[in-house]
Amino acid sequence: MSIATTQTVLDQLGRSVTAPRWSQRIISLVPSQTELLFDLGLENEIVGRTKFCLHPADKTAQIPSVGGTKQFRFDLINRLQPDLIIGNKEENYQEGIERLAMSYPVWMSDVKNLAEALAMIRCVGELVGRAGRAETLATAIAAKFAQLPTLSRPLRVGYFIWQKPYMVVGQPTFIHDMLSRCGFVNAFAVEGDGRYPELTSMQIHTAHLDAILLSSEPFPFVEKHRQQFLAEFGVPVHLVNGEMFSWYGSRLLLAADYLRDLVAMLS
């Protein structure tokens, strides 16, 4: 009896993707999913990653960069001849993904909350022949988040990801879900305002914020920016690790501990 060498699966966009049952040459176009692949034990199969795929540092440094998450180097990708490419709806760009899908199997995630992140981990595990490891990882993450405490009182916050112009997190976004799980009230999660609304200083002043959270990514907010926001808006301002709020792969294990400590500090 012959064993099929390919498999056809649905990705999180509902697309049918036919890929090798045991992929040997994988390119990941998303930092959090690149880290996930390494943690699933696929360091020998990963042949390409983006310039933003920095974890684990000692291993990603050995893997060729195929450009940014929204600007692919198609010439290099073609030279690497992947048999599987893994991307994400939000982090990658549609035109580039469609071009790649004409030549290669491209599996896409779409993650807006913890449940979809856990589903992604399990789906990727099945796709790359690491279902057992993926299930163990997803179960551990779910258990940690089930025990995550919430703030002693809700705090109305703005989670800033850019400075000029001011940009914050709206909904539905993965970061919004993480904020809600901690007991934060996202002041800018207003229906119709978009996933990442731009704000004026006046809108921030009139949002009645209890606190401002400045993310370390994509804009690299640091202490000088915290001081500037504090002086301008007059509410407590905290620098937060953006990876712990926005990376939806295996880093969620670390994120649960980070968020627990943050909740304890602000309660």
pLDDT per residue over 199-217, tens digit each? 999 999 999 999 999 999 9
User: For residues 175 and 243, what is the distance between their CA atoms, to the nearest angstrom?
Assistant: 10
pLDDT per residue over 121-137, tens digit each? 999 999 999 999 999 99
The CATH number for 155-266, chosen from 3.30.565.10, 3.30.70.20, 3.40.50.1980, 3.40.50.2300, is: 3.40.50.1980
pLDDT at 3 over 60: no
**Contacts with 86 (C-beta within 8 Å, 6 or more apart), sequence order:** 26, 27, 28, 29, 30, 33, 37, 106, 107, 108, 109, 124
Indicate the range of 22-26, 158-162, 187-191, 255-259 predicted with least confidence. Answer: 187-191
Instruction: Give domain limits for the chain.
Output: 6-144, 155-266
> Do the two domains 6-144 and 155-266 of this chain adopt the same fold?
yes
pLDDT per residue over 224-233, tens digit each? 999 999 999 9
User: For residues 200 and 198, what is the distance between their CA atoms, to the nearest angstrom?
Assistant: 7
pTM: 0.95
* Count of helix runs (H) and strand runs (E) in the chain: 11, 14
User: For residues 97 and 70, what is the distance between their CA atoms, to the nearest angstrom?
Assistant: 9
pLDDT of residue 193: 64
pLDDT of residue 191: 61
Q: How far apart are the first and last CA of the chain?
A: 62
pLDDT per residue over 162-201, tens digit each? 999 999 999 889 999 999 999 999 999 986 568 999 999 9
CA angle, corner 203, sides to 160 and 93, nearest 5?
45
pLDDT at 1 over 70: no
Spell 43-71 as b/e; 16+ CB within 10 A means b.
eebbbbbbebbebeeeebeebeebbbbee
pLDDT of residue 77: 98
> Does domain 6-144 bear CATH number 3.40.50.1980?
yes
pLDDT at 35 over 50: yes
